Amino acid sequence: MIILACDHAGYELKEEIKAFFNKQNITTIDVGTYSKDRVDYPDFAKAGNAKVLENPNNIGIYICGTGIGMSIAANRNPKIRAALCESTKLAHLARAHNNANVLVLSGRFTSKTKAISIIKEFLTTNFEGGRHQKRVKKLNKIV
């Protein structure tokens, strides 16, 4: 399942992404926000994380103004590996090398077209494991 979360600055891009998924008949869970009214991104990162962690196959897509705040907030949970990606190459590496389970986008600096390309790459790339598995495992031990 794809979990969508955003703050007010990511709302418009989230709605465009949700419309894209709807056209593809892909079901998403939208944990908000549901308008451009000012909200606090940590609340929505927390709500998104809760849904992502319900099933190991779930993937989150979080959006805030720059993507930085959502990345910081999401990564407070040691079971979340959120990656702010501004290109398909970074999205590929985030999945292949880091087994990222949350893609973070910038609502202010990412066009719909670019976001869709990044999302497609993120969703179609598998974790390579191998030498990367040891490193990902260490992430849970960082204090």
Nearest CA-CA partner of 75 in 142, 6, 14: 142
Catalytic residue among 8, 92, 97, 132: 97
Nearest CA-CA partner of 71 in 92, 99, 96, 42: 42
Report which residue type is found at 84.
L
Residue 8 is a catalytic residue: no
Taking the C-alpha atoms of residue 118 and residue 31, their distance in angstroms, rounded to an integer, is: 21
**Other residues' Cβ atoms within 10 Å of the Cβ of residue 72:** 16
Instruction: Please give the torsion angle defined by the CA atoms of residues 4, 74, 114 and 109, in that order, rounded to the nearest 10 degrees.
Output: 110
Residues labelled as active-site residues: 97
